[in-house]
Amino acid sequence: MAKWVYAFGNGKADGTAEMKNLLGGKGAGLAEMSGMGLPVPPGFTITTEACTYFYQHNQTYPDGLKAEADAALKQVGALVGAEFGNPAKPLLVSVRSGARVSMPGMMDTVLNLGLNPETTEGLASLTGNARFAYDSYRRFIQMYSNVVLGLEHSLFEEILDSAKEEKGVELDTELDATDLGRIIDDYKARVRKELGKQFPDDVHAQLWGAIGAVFGSWQAARARTYRKLNRIPEDWGTAVNVQAMVFGNRGETSATGVAFTRDPATGEKLLYGEFLINAQGEDVVAGIRTPQPISKAVRERQGGKKPSMEEAMPAAYAELRAIADKLEAHYRDMQDVEFTIQDGKLFMLQTRSGKRTAKAALKVAVDMVTEGLIDEKLAVMRVDPMALDQLLHPTLDPKAPKEQIASGLAASPGAATGEVAFTADEAEKRAGEGHAIILVRTETSPEDIHGMHAAKGILTARGGMTSHAAVVARGMGRPCVSGAGMIKIDAAKGEMVCGAHTIRRGELITIDGTSGQVFKGRVPTIEPELSGDFATLMGWADGMRRLKVRTNADTPKDAEVARKFGAEGIGLCRTEHMFFDPERILAVRQMILADDRAAREAALAKLLPMQRGDFEGIFRAMEGLPVTIRLLDPPLHEFLPQTDAEVADVARAAGTTPAKLRARAIALQEANPMLGHRGCRLGITFPEIYEMQARAIFEAAMNVERSGGKRVQLEIMIPLVGFRSEFDFLKERIAAVSRTIAKEHGRAPAFMTGTMIELPRAALRAGEIAESAEFFSFGTNDLTQTTLGVSRDDAGTFLTEYLSKGLIARDPFVSIDQDGVGELVKIAAERGRKAREKLKLGICGEHGGDPDSIRFCHEAGLDYVSCSPFRVPIARLAAAQAAFRYVNEDS
């Protein structure tokens, strides 16, 4: 018989940390902490399987669930000496979501459930604190009305703000019991007005309404968006955690807070977080009141005047510090905890692995190895390769002139410049039109996630380091400045006022999420420097991986950047990208439009020294590492002159008439250029083009070697081969140039000749091609297009629908289609190596920088991956993780 409910509390638990898939992350953490003997209020978890059942059976509950939940609720009451619905000793509970992975702010929570007029009076009598009881009931009505009844928070905030304004106070805590009683009446009246029915007083109806709402929040728009962005499966579902309430709003000896066992932005080992005295948990994460730091050191750095928890509640702080250390040692990872202090007593409400920036992830991983908590291999596995992207992009130039207009908390590191947008919808729309956007909000909410994802950075006027904006921005790798209280935002007018400055919609600002500063206009940036913890972890990763990591580089500058990031060669140098320079495009057009060999050779003679110079720069930058150069592979339409002026320029250079050139351009036009006269087909019809390139390559290599440079490891790649005969024809042409060079100079550079596998036929006939080719490089961009029959440039119009409808799990141009394209790669690798045992195999499409695709390449037996320069560290780390997983799964 299925078990739907798992209890925890009083030092015992039905579940453990290993049951995260069943109990969700929150439920598994509560069970584990309870089993460790930590102070956890008792409660129970309704499993994720119940949520799955709920959606598979027309949103109904499984048989037996209510009976199990009722029994568990009675047990909770017995442990705390209370009874659900009993005014004399009322049991109040929280109802919280808890998916198996953290989805901060994406799903719903209800606190203080179990209050009605009778139990509220009972709570007031029991505690001798009417203000506390009414404040709890006021909070419950507002939260329940929003989460369960579907009313907007703003309806109740208006009532609350009016009451404070009428009394002449600013803070909720300045309202007394009489004030709160009137607010409760007004809240209930608003519910009646909006819904035409009374706010529910039946506590059991409240409970099951909240449980249904938590299950329902799994399919809320914001949760679906978050799952899509973070590739979380739809069918995982969420658990529901029902837990006895402890109250941080019982007065000046009560508080609530969120803490990380290390700084989630830097990784520094100190208790880092925020708390609020006389408040409940939602006040901290919602950003409605700006909270106080937990540690004295953090308060001093931020220049805060209100005391830290370490100063205001030293005993509770010391206990929290000890529990934090115990949890870190137990989980062997940085933890993110929620807690409440009720009348001076500390209670733990959650623990989970803390989200962190890439910089912090590196420091935490390296420090924990030094501390003996984890080994080097686990440290490498702890860092998300894609998170390194946060470290690999420019930051603000400290020497550049800046006009600071505001400051706040440094909530998520990095810098960004963009046009101001005041709503998430506006940010998404403007970003879709190609604009860089900074989303500016008073505070963000989960409904803003689409705009946050579209924006380059986020700025909020309210909220702390653990507010929704801060947590989500860090997870996305977006720079964020939060709690910039001097900013006054008027979204309706489309402007914000920062002291003497007024910034309007569409104007540029720059934010620095590392310092918390906001600047007017654009501020120049500088390239990052990678050392310290990054170098240490990458050194460990390099020792674990089998796959080599090369780069796609077309210029010496690209090659130098890639070398700095640890590239071990160039896997793809696209020679056509060298020709778009304004000084060269004229000669290229002259070559393409030439209607005889002599005219073509005249144009090629102009290009030869340019190509030779390009290759010399690349060879010098790579310092003897292998360089794979792909011969010309242009869709010709990209180079054809488009305007009358361009046609006239080419005609003048070629010594012909514009009319004749236009006729030639029309003759070269193709219905489908991507499958037309390009790649090896161009080299076969006009061999002199590839002969010029081969000469430029060989002469450049010899020039570098003669001038004292390291010997070039030269690999010449023939593109778009489908038949061995194509490859053999062009291989011999290249060899003939090499022989000519040897006669002219007494020697020629050593080289290998190989091909790109980017057509299904080439993959299927790889065995016979490998008899002649010395290496294969899988061009998975084109191999994906030709296998799926999908144009990458046009796929966006319908692939998003495929993704949203669950027809495919990933965009096949982002992560390799392992079942289709991947099968062709495996076939080509197997057949190629059967014909040539030492055949070198690599991949040079965009997939070379995608961690999932890199794991596939490891398993398929490839020798290297090649990716863009800034993806090289990502690929190095992903290759190490692929090797570790492969060994462990195979053993």
Which residues are marked as active site?
Answer: 468, 844
Residue 125's CB is within 10 A of a number of other CB atoms, namely 13
Tokens of 64: 């037996």
Determine what percent of the chain falls in helix, strand and coil, rounding each to the nearest 5.
50, 15, 35
List Cβ neighbours of 602 (8 Å cut-off, separation of 6 or more): 590, 594
CA distance 271 to 687: 68
Q: How many contiguous H segments (helices) and E segments (strands) does the chain have?
A: 34, 32
For the chain, the maximum distance between any two Cα atoms, rounded to a whole number of angstroms, is: 105
How would you class 682 by CB atoms within 10 Å of its CB: exposed for 0-12, middle for 13-18, buried for 19 or more? buried
Pairing of strands 751-757, 775-778: parallel
Nearest to 484 by CA among 405, 403, 406: 406
Place of tokens 């750095």: 301
Rounded Cα distance between 406 and 746, Å, is 68
Measured between alpha carbons, how far is 18 from 15 in angstroms, rounded to an integer? 8
In sequence order, what are the beta bridge partners of 629? 573, 716
* CB burial string 730-769: b at 16+ within 10 A, e below: bbebbeebbeebeeeeeebbebebbbbbbbbebbbbbbbb
Beta-ladder partners of 132: none
- Residue 664: which H helix or E strand, with range? helix 658-668
The token duo for 246 is 């402890």
Cβ 285 vs Cβ 105: under 8 Å:
yes
Compute the Cα dihedral for 131, 134, 136, 139 and give only its sign.
negative
Cβ contact 252:344 at 8 Å:
no
Angle 189-191-192 (CA atoms, 0-180°, nearest 5)? Answer: 65
DSSP codes of every residue in 189-247 = HHHHHHHSSPPP--HHHHHHHHHHHHHHHTTSHHHHHHHHHHT--GGG-EEEEEEE---
Enter the tokens of residue 585.
């495009």
Question: Per DSSP, what are the bridge partners of residue 259?
Answer: 273, 337
d(CA 295, CA 308): 6
Instruction: State how far the Cα of 204 lies from the Cα of 200, in Å rounded to an integer.
Output: 10
Q: What are residue 549's DSSP bridge partners?
A: 865
Distances (CA, A) of 223 to 99, 275, 498, 548: 11, 26, 33, 38
Q: Shortest CA distance to 137 belongs to which of 197, 192, 174, 177?
A: 177
Question: In this structure, how many other beta carbons lie within 10 angstroms of the beta carbon of residue 370?
Answer: 10
What are the beta bridge partners of residue 83?
A: 90
Do residues 257 and 285 lie in contact, with contact meaning Cβ atoms separated by under 8 Å?
no
- Element spanning 364, H or E: helix 358-370
445, HSE (Cβ side, Cα atoms, 13 Å):
12
Closest CA to 283 of 178, 68, 139, 152: 139
Contacts of 237 (CB under 8 A, 6+ apart): 48, 49, 51, 52, 54, 55, 99, 215, 218
